[in-house]
Amino acid sequence: MWKLGTVVAASIFVLVACDTTDSIKKEQLERAKAEIEAYSEIDDAKCRNYGMPGSNEYVQCRTSLTNARMNARGSGASK
């Protein structure tokens, strides 16, 4: 009887752990999406000073800002 109880308890633990991991991943994904949207709006506003969306100047500006952000994250992660 105690073996059955142990198996049930272990199964519940595994299910709870999986659910917690999934909810953490979902939260991280939602935060990342919100961050991307915020940066996109900020970058759009900055780059419209250089040209209309789709123009070479606008595209270069957006690319530059994206690359700078990626480089900053890369150097911060290695420290």
**CA separation for the pair 42, 46 (Å, rounded):** 6
For the chain, give every domain's residue range.
22-77
What does each C-alpha distance from 37 to 3, 14, 29, 62, 65 come to in angstroms? 51, 35, 12, 14, 14
pLDDT digits (tens, 9 = 90+) for 49-76: 999 999 999 999 999 999 998 898 887 6
> Residues 11-30: pLDDT tens digits?
665 656 666 677 888 888 89
pLDDT at position 70 is: 86
Whole-structure pTM value:
0.59
